[in-house]
Every structure is written in C-alpha cells, then in structure tokens.
Amino acid sequence: MLSSNLIEINKQLEIDADLVLSPAEYEIYRNITNESRKNEYLVGRYAIKRNIADNMPAYDLPFTSVTIDYGALRYPIIKDNLIEVGLSHSKQYVLSVIYSKDHIVGVDIETIRYEIPIEEMLSSDELQLVANYGNRPEFAYMFFSCKEALGKALKMGLLADYSIYEVSGMDCEMLHGTEVFRLHFRRFPFLIGYSFMKSEKEICSLVVPKKMDIEHIILELIAS
C-alpha cells in the first residue's frame, strides 16, 4: 500500500488547528514563533492526516487523535506505528505519503534556486551523466532531490558520507506528456528513484524498491 497527497501551500487553505492537531502537536505549534514555519507545521500534519483519512477508511479516527511525532533522526512517525509516513516541503508544496511497514519509501520536493551551485555536490561521474543529457540545470537538482528521498527511505537523511548516495545511471520515460526520470543508485541497486518537474521550478522525487509499481502514484502527482 502506498498513497500520496500533494497540497499547494500558496493556496488559501482554511485549516483549523483545533480540528487537526493532537494536544501534543498543538503544544508544539503554539510555541513556534516563526509564522512561515508555524504554517508549514500545520499544513504538513494536515497533509498526512488527510492522506490517511482519504486512503485508509479502516483507520477511522479524528485528526486530533493522531499524533505525528519525530523519529530519532527527525523523520516523521505515527506513534502507534500501524503505518509509515513520509513528508517533504518546498516553497510551493507539501508532499506526504503513507505506506505499509513492509515497504521502503522516501519522498522529496525541492524548489530550484539557480543562484545555489548545487552541481558542486555532484561527483565527476554524476556530472558526466548530467552532461549526457545536455547539462540542463534542473538535473543537478533532480540528483540532489533523489538523494534526499533516498536518505529518507533509509531513515537517516543525508547524515552518512555523501558518496553513499551516488547516482550511477539515469533514463527517461514520458508519462502523460511529462518527462519522468529514473535514477539508479550505485550502492543501493534494489532501490530506484523517480524524479520529474512538477512545475517550472519544483522537482518531485520518490525512492522505492525496484519491483514496486508506482506509476499510478506518479500520474496522480503529475495531475494534482
């Protein structure tokens, strides 16, 4: 089981914190002083709980009865551990996924910032892969985004030696008129990353086991 939920932050969402947050979450929310971070926290919790409500009817609980906590390395968890969750924010979107515990899943959504030389974080072999596709600037961000998603799938973020996350290959397919790139990892051959441009400056990435069919998830994200 895998389902996704993508919410555009800039839309005027009417989210009532009293109806979404558990008591423990509300205490954290109340003490966040930065308004942007406060809104990000609320929308993130709403995205996960909306995803659960829409896709897991058997998990019939009020939003306020579900607490999204943090694991040891700051990845989101649900305290009762019935399911796994993933969460990522960009300047424009909040992306959540929920999935069964027998899967390995990581997600990331990134806003391209051309003033940041992200290509400096790529290995020489990765730079050659980018060059093979015409040195399009978004590819460096796709590599970075898939590495972020890989780190989340492994429940350790980007805390390991950066070479661990190296991309060894890339190919492309068209889905509903959108280029979707498959990225392969040198040290994790059983996992695969999918990355595509959600908008002109937003990149969406998922990392899952190679045998896992997620075309329907990608199509939903492209269309949402």
Q: Mind listing the pLDDT tens digit for each residue in 18-76?
A: 999 999 999 999 999 998 889 889 999 999 999 988 888 777 788 998 888 877 567 78
Instruction: Please check whether residues 219 and 110 belong to one and the same domain.
Output: yes
Domain boundary among 49, 82, 99: 99
Instruction: Please check whether residues 142 and 209 belong to one and the same domain.
Output: yes
Instruction: Please check whether residues 118 and 210 belong to one and the same domain.
Output: yes
Domain around 120: 106-223
* Across 39-53, 72-86, 112-126, 129-143, least confident range: 72-86
Entry pTM: 0.75
CATH number at residue 187: 3.90.470.20
Instruction: Please check whether residues 156 and 82 belong to one and the same domain.
Output: no
> To the nearest whole percent, how much of the chain has pLDDT over 90?
57
Instruction: Please check whether residues 81 and 179 belong to one and the same domain.
Output: no
Amino acid 202: pLDDT: 95
Q: Looking at the predicted structure, is the pLDDT value of residue 199 above 80?
A: yes
CA distances from 133 to 3, 84, 122, 128, 200 (A): 31, 35, 15, 9, 18
Instruction: Please check whether residues 67 and 127 belong to one and the same domain.
Output: no
Burial class (CB in 10 A: 0-12, 13-18, 19+), 121: middle
Instruction: Please check whether residues 92 and 147 belong to one and the same domain.
Output: no
Instruction: Please check whether residues 200 and 150 belong to one and the same domain.
Output: yes
> How far apart (Å, rounded) are the C-alpha atoms in residues 103 and 99?
7
Number of structural domains found in the chain: 2
Instruction: Please check whether residues 114 and 207 belong to one and the same domain.
Output: yes
Instruction: Please check whether residues 24 and 60 belong to one and the same domain.
Output: yes
Instruction: Please check whether residues 122 and 213 belong to one and the same domain.
Output: yes
